[in-house]
Structure formats: C-alpha cells, structure tokens
Structure 1
Amino acid sequence: MAQLINVLVVDDSAFMRKVISDMIDKDVNMQVVGTARNGQEALIKRQTLKPDVITLDVEMPIMDGLDTLKELMKEAPVPVVMISSLTKEGAEQTLLAMEYGAVDFVAKTSGAISLDLHIIEKEIVKKVKLAYKANINQEIKTTHRPRKIVREERKESNNRQKKIIAIGTSTGGPKALKEVVTRLPKDIDAPIVIVQHMPKGFTQSLANRLNTLADIEVKEAADGDLLRSGVAYIAPGGFHMIIKKVGQSYSIQLNQEEARRGHRPSVDVLFESLATYVDLKKIAVIMTGMGSDGKVGLKSLKESGNCFAIAESMNTSIVFGMPKAAIEAKLIDEVIDLDQISDHIMRQV
C-alpha cells in the first residue's frame, strides 16, 4: 500500500487504547492518528482527524458503540471495525452493529478488558486493512417490509424433486443474510443451510436475530438435526457442517476437523458434502466475503450436476472476494444484486 491507512481508536479503557494503537502502529501500512475515550469524543475527533478507518468499542459510557456508529454512518460513512466482548450481550450488540453498517468485528478474548489481545493481533490488523478497502457505500433498499414472493406455477414433476438452498458468506454476511433470509416465504419448499464465518457464540446470536425478523424459522444448527423445508440452519462457529442422507431425509453432522484455509465452518466443506447427492437439486449462493471459500466446493457441486449457482454482485458486496473467486472460475449461473437474490432463489425452488 502506497498510502498509510489512518486509524482512530475508540475505547473507554486506556489500557485497550494503548494495546490496540501499538498493534496498528507496528504495521508499516498503518498509523494511529488519534484515540477517543467514548462516542462523543470520537465524533468530534472524526471531524478533525478524518480517519480512513475507526476501531470502535461496543460497550462505552456516555455514548456507546451502537449510538456512535449510527452517527458515524449518517452523512459521510467511514469504515468501522467493532471491538466486542465474547459475551451474549456483546454478540447481540455486535450483530446490530453489522446491520447499522460496521464492516466487521474482532472479539476480545478475555472479556471487556482483554489481557491477551496479542492472540488476535493479526486479526485486528487484517480486518482494519480489509475495512479500508470495503465497499461501505452500497445502496440496498430496506425501507419497507420485504414483499412476499409469489412463486410461478411449476410442473408437477419439478415439485417432486427435493431441493436445498446452500449459502456461504463471510465479511458483511450478517447484513447480507438479513436481506435474503427475511425475503423468503414461510412456505418455501426447501431447507436452507448457511455457513457464515463467525466465532463460537456469535452464530447463535445471529440465528436468534434472524429468527425474530424472518417469516421462516432460523436456528443455529445442531448435530443430528433433520432438515425441514422452511427452516434455515446456521453452522455454529468452530464447527464444520456437512449434510448426510438418512433414509429419504437429510441430516446435519457437525465436526471439528481441521480448519479449511483458515475457516471452520467452511463453505467448501458444506458444498462438497452436498455434491454427492445427484438426485437433490442444489441452489448454491455465494455472497460478500474475503478470500475464496466456496469456490472449491462449488466446483464439486457443478461437476456433480443438478446445481444452480448464484453470486452476489460487486455492486452490493461489502467485500467482493468470495463471489469474485467463484465468478472468475466460471462456476456461477447468475450474478445478482443483494436485494434480488431471494427472488432468484425462489425461481429455482
């Protein structure tokens, strides 16, 4: 990077401000241009310092991370990486932050004041750099309750074929999943299996959040779950999710085998497990995310046949890495803006 990335560090703990600042300043491509103790101070310093990226603590006095984020996103959005505690409340607040426009988050490893942040130093540096490049100005129409999708009449033979929708996503995924999942009708004739790159604990909060917003049921997947139409299953953080046939039904198996290219859960692992079932129609969807997870698994799905693949467009992807990798590999049937993905899924169901 030719240009230094200017970062504003916001945290109510002086210790955390120092630790995070030292991590960022160690990288030759970044520099901390200022720190703030709370949201009010952050909003003032944002105006004078004009940072490229802000790291923002979720829990702060005077003005917390969520209220600060809303203000930051009002007029001239700036890329924000949330720093969250590994608590149930912290996970819920972090997911709301993703909806409000934060690019990504880093989970503190030891609660509110983390004494072993060196463990996640690489993650903080990586995510700040990623946020700098992220597409935070994508326009998604979300002002009204999503309309019900009216399915076209299908031939009887097509209706008899079992179908499954498999979705893979990473950075920017919680916001993207909200747009897609809340637009699917309750009586959709297929189960939905989802891999979202997230740590343990956050996937449960994501499932709970989506379940309150969607017409379909959304749950964190459990080992042995039998797949049911109209239910979305989110792979738990720290576990691969594979699909196994049990009689005439399909079930979920979770394992903690080695991470695939740094990911567990892995989109590739999910897709590859589905590739063995040639009688099952697979609608595979790859959305916003860094890297190329999903490309190898999608290749297996396409080679086995009976698979229709959709990728989110560059226009709406917060990070275009995962969709781009699949598109460049010529594995995608349609490239679609985020607010149209659910319609295109339903055309295949």
Structure 2
Amino acid sequence: MAVKVLVVDDSSFFRRRVSEIINQDPEMEVIGTANNGKEAIAQTAALKPDVITMDIEMPVLDGISAVKKIMESNPTPILMFSSLTHAGASATLDALEAGALDFLPKKFEDIARDKEEATRLLQQKVKEIGRRRISRFNRPRPATPTASAPIRSSTVTQPDRSFSTRQFEPKAPEADFRASGKKYQLVAIGTSTGGPVALQNILTQLPANFPHPILLIQHMPAAFTPAFASRLNSLCKIQVKEAENGDMLRPGVAYLAPGGKQMLVEGRGSGQKLKVFEDDSPRVTYKPSVDITFASAAKSYGDGVLAVVLTGMGADGREGARMLKQAGSKIWAQDEKSCVVYGMPQAVANAGLAEASIALGDVAMRISREVGCG
C-alpha cells in the first residue's frame, strides 16, 4: 500500500516540486495539497493522509498552529520544511514541540551533496514516518503537563503520534532496575530523526548535580544547533551548550555537537577536552557523526562511558558503539515502541552491542540510577 501524502505550502511552485518528487517513488502518492494551515486541517480530516509535509510560514494559519490543531483532532505524522536561519530553527523546534516528527530545510539541497541525493533524502524521510504511522500510530490520549514538572512517557503498546514531551504520561520508576555499580566518567547520547524531542525528554529530568559531562550528537543543520542548545539550557537543571573547540569537559554540562562539524574527545585521565572542526570529507555522511564522537570517547575514556543510541534513520552510531563496547563501556538503545524511527537503535541492537533496549520514558531515570545520582 502506497504512503498517502498531503503537501502543504503557500507556494504553488514548491507544492508542485515536492509533489513531483514524492510521486516519483511508486511507494508514495500525493493525495492532496493545501496552501495554508486552515486548508491543511480540513484536508487532513477529509483525506486521512498517512503523512503531511508542512511549511512553517503561511497565510491564514501558520504551520505551527496547524500542527497543534491537527494533533488535537486528527493526529498525523508531519514533516516540516524550514528556512536555515535562527528564526527558522526556533520555529522548527516549536513545531517539533507541537507534535511534528521531523524536518528538512526548505532548500533541502543545502544538506545534500547533489539534487539526486536531496530527492532521495526527502523520499526516505516521508516514507519512514509514513510507514511508522501505518503500522503502529494511534490517537494520543490527552495530558495536562506543567512547565515546572517534566513528564515522562509510559511504556504503552501504541505510542502517541506526536511524540511531544507534553503528551508523555507520568510513569513510576521501574522497581526491577538496579544500577550495575560500574564507574563512569562520561555519558554520550547519539540520535537523529525524533531526537530533539527525545533529548528534551531525557535532559529535563536529569538533576543539577549530575556527576559527569554529557556529549550530545544530534543530526541537525548548523543553523539549528545554537537555537536547540539554548532551548535545552533554558529548560534543564543541568547546563547545556553548543560545543566549542577546546571546551574542557565538566561534570553536569551537556555539550551539543555543532551542525555541519565533527566533535571529538581528546586527552586522557582528568584533562579531556573537545576538538570541534569542519569536516569536508565526502566519505562522511553525517556531520556531526555519532560514530566519530563515540570512537573518540572510546580512545579517551576506555571503559568509562555510558552510551545511549536513540531514535533515528540509518546506522550511525553502530561502529562507534562497537569500539566503546570493545573498550569495556556500556551501550543502551531506545526500544522500538518509543522510537519515531527505529533505524539507529536497531542497528546497535542487531549487532549485539546494546546491553538493554529501553523505553524513552525510562532513559533518564536509568541513566541517573546507573551513574549514582538517581
């Protein structure tokens, strides 16, 4: 069955362009278009698409408002299109918080090497989130969160469509989980599609006295990572910052790898610092790359790393996790039910590298207990 797509944009040229790219793939079909958020809401109710592509800036009703209303009435996986500006990044993060699952730059060639790769990337993202919806998404249950008390997801058979942190239900700590007693020096987390909301869910639950530095590797354009780090820092008890070259790693600080660059750990003992650099290699697909950061952590910290691979397409993180495992570090993966896309955690799990597969709502609690502060 083809993935049914609704294309929403106020530009007739862009609607036509996106529709042509989607219809080139026999596994997808554009079943309708809309030129503003109000039309998108009506078309979603009438056509029941499997996935929606949505612009942010539109007349009558903007994309963020449309996402919120669609998630309230007819929850549907949504891929946002955004400009590569600070304002565009902030708006995209608002859309993800409202319930959108993923995003691409409006000029999505900006994060691809050529037109053909850009076409494949758009097709892949639409199919991934559309297929997940067909197989396992259902209507979300209402929740009433508060800004002062982050809410965690429950382990349910069918997770919420929106994957918004605001729709995670409170869950009692797992009585059967016991810390291993292993000593750590670093926590490293790698993710891609669905990662912004997953990272927010985890990091907002960590205590201010978290005893180790945290490395965050999120596949994201360069224009987005400063806004994302700033947002996380404003919400979390720990400090979150975009990593800079030469940063000394400090306990209770999370360092987000800058988009378009690589982040390495250098040094041993108690003097580790970060090397952040431009990577022009055509052989490296992801910038930042989970594999590259994990591999450097294995060299610097040996068996002292707790690494977690979260939701995301592809297999980035598998080989870095292999190096960490060989050095004696511990690897966890997010479980399939709570992932937006199970690709990255599945690659780690299928390679026999993950010691546990964990629901998103349990990750923060388990990390805290495992490192001795929960």
TM-score (norm 1): 0.88
Alignment partner of 1:32 out of 30, 33, 39: 30
Structure 2 gaps of 5+ residues are 152-171, 174-180
**2:200 matched to 1:182?**
no
Counterpart for residue 84 of structure 1: 82
Shift of 1:278: 4.8
| Residues 103-129 of structure 1: CA deviation (Å, up to 9, x unaligned) | 211102299xxxx98773322212111
How much does 1:348 deviate? Answer: 2.2
* SS of the residue 1:23 aligns to: helix
Judged with a 3 Å threshold, the aligned counterparts in structure 2 of structure 1 residues 92 and 308 are, in CA distance, closer, same or farther, namely same
In structure 2, the residue matched to 1:334 is 356
Q: Is the contact between residue 172 and residue 288 of structure 1 (CA under 8 Å) also seen in structure 2? A: yes
Is the contact made by 2:272 and 2:300 (CA closer than 8 Å) also made in structure 1?
A: no
2:145 to 130, 143, 146: 143
Distance 1:139 1:210, change over 3 A: farther
Aligned-partner residue type, residue 41 of structure 1: E
Runs (4+) of structure 1 exceeding 4 A deviation are 116-119, 135-142
Report the residue type matching 2:293 in the other structure. Answer: L
What letter is aligned with 1:143?
Answer: P
Matched, 1:313 2:335: yes
2:273 aligned to which of 235, 244, 251: 251
Matching residue within 4, 12, 15 for 2:13: 15
SS of 2:45's partner is helix
Q: Write out per-residue CA displacement over residues 107-158 of structure 1, whole angstroms, 9 at most, x where no aligned residue.
A: 02299xxxx98773322212111111235559798835138x99xxxxxxx8
Amino acid at match of 1:134: R
Task: Tell me if 1:203 matches 2:205.
Answer: no
CA deviations on 1:319-342 (whole Å, 9 max, x unpaired) are 111111111111112221111111
- Alpha-carbon spacing, 1:233–1:38, altered in 2? closer, same or farther (3 Å): same
Please report how far the alpha carbon of residue 264 of structure 1 lies from its aligned counterpart in structure 2 after TM superposition: 1.3
Letter in 1 for 2:106: K
Partners of 2:286 and 2:117 lie apart in 1 by: 17
* CA-to-aligned-CA distance 1:46-80 (integer Å, 9 cap, x gap): 12222111100011111100110011111331111
3-state SS of 2:91 partner: helix
Asked if residue 281 in structure 1 is aligned to residue 304 in structure 2, the reply is yes
* Aligned-pair Cα RMSD in Å: 2.7
Aligned residue-pair number: 334
Q: Is the 8 A contact 1:164 1:280 kept in 2?
A: no
Task: Rate the CA distance shift 1:278–1:110 in 2: closer, same or farther, 3 A.
Answer: closer
Tell whether the 8 Å contact from 1:260 to 1:266 is kept in structure 2 after alignment. Answer: no
Aligned equivalents of 2:286, 2:144: Cα separation in 1: 30
Aligned to 1:57: 55
TM-score, normalised by the number of residues in structure 2: 0.83
> What is the DSSP-based 3-state SS (H/G/I as helix, E as strand, rest coil) of the residue aligned with 1:249?
coil
What is the percentage of aligned positions where both structures have the same residue? 42
Q: Supply the AA of the counterpart residue of 1:241.
A: M
Counterparts in 2 of 1:50 and 1:146: CA distance versus 1, 3 Å? closer
